[in-house]
Structure 1
């Protein structure tokens, strides 16, 4: 119960910070973000696939098909387990770019998708 309250408090703070600073990378900006260099790491790709699957639960009639994570960021402070992912995924055969924000809680092996948004860009 206490860990859920802590997770909720962290999420609320992250949303508040995001509202104060424009741009998708505003989440958890305490100390800034750093690029995760090895985006081909299976764990990073699996996080992207998981984010797409979570999004599909809310729109099963028009699901996305995961392609790959194209970039990933984490806070400078490693104790904050936020991840910002840029994801290529297609819907009805058209590829789009999406931005996902998630938090990982290793203590009880849970994840929470905080946001998943398309930027309106299409590419082939």
Structure 2
């Protein structure tokens, strides 16, 4: 009985050490930069984000290009994009759009999570 208890305590201690010593990813995953923002898929997501924003807020923005981006891992379906857009007064402004790419899950387009600053 004493040997079983000692073995059980050793196993429990090993389990605690393993849990403490093993690095874990954040619940939402890590964000990593996308090195090729000129990739047609990334540019398409940026255009989709501007179009979705225009539907909601009627901003009249015209997509120019994505100038920076990062993707959340694992999964690679959530993006934060720095989008250059042309405003009604013909000036350019950088907006930050957070989107979920629905094309990887069989959907089409993107789901806009946030877009700012306001247009």
Change (3 A) 1:52 1:93: same
Partner residue in 2 for 1:87: 83
Q: Is the 8 A contact 2:32 2:71 kept in 1?
A: yes
Instruction: Provide the rounded CA distance (Å) in 2 between the counterparts of 1:99 and 1:34.
Output: 16
Q: Is the 8 A contact 1:97 1:119 kept in 2?
A: no
Moved over 3 A (4+): 28-31
Superposed CA deviations along residues 13-68 of structure 1, whole A, max 9, x for unmatched, are: xxxxxxxxxxxxxxx873421110111111111110110011111233x4001111
RMSD value over aligned CA atoms?
A: 2.2
Give the drift of 1:90: 1.7
Q: TM-score, normalised by structure 1?
A: 0.64
Superposed CA deviations along residues 71-102 of structure 1, whole A, max 9, x for unmatched, are: 1101132x251011000112121111100001
Unaligned 5+ segments in structure 2 are 1-25
Q: Is the 8 A contact 1:82 1:102 kept in 2?
A: yes
Aligned pair count reads 91
Q: TM-score, normalised by structure 2?
A: 0.67
Q: Is the 8 A contact 2:45 2:101 kept in 1?
A: no
Instruction: Provide the rounded CA distance (Å) in 2 between the counterparts of 1:42 and 1:80.
Output: 16
* 2:41 aligned counterpart, secondary structure: helix
Instruction: Provide the rounded CA distance (Å) in 1 between the counterparts of 2:44 and 2:93.
Output: 18
Q: Is the 8 A contact 1:51 1:113 kept in 2?
A: yes
Write the mapping of 1:8-87 to structure 2, written as runs, cut at 5 A.
Answer: 30-60=28-58, 62-77=59-74, 79-87=75-83
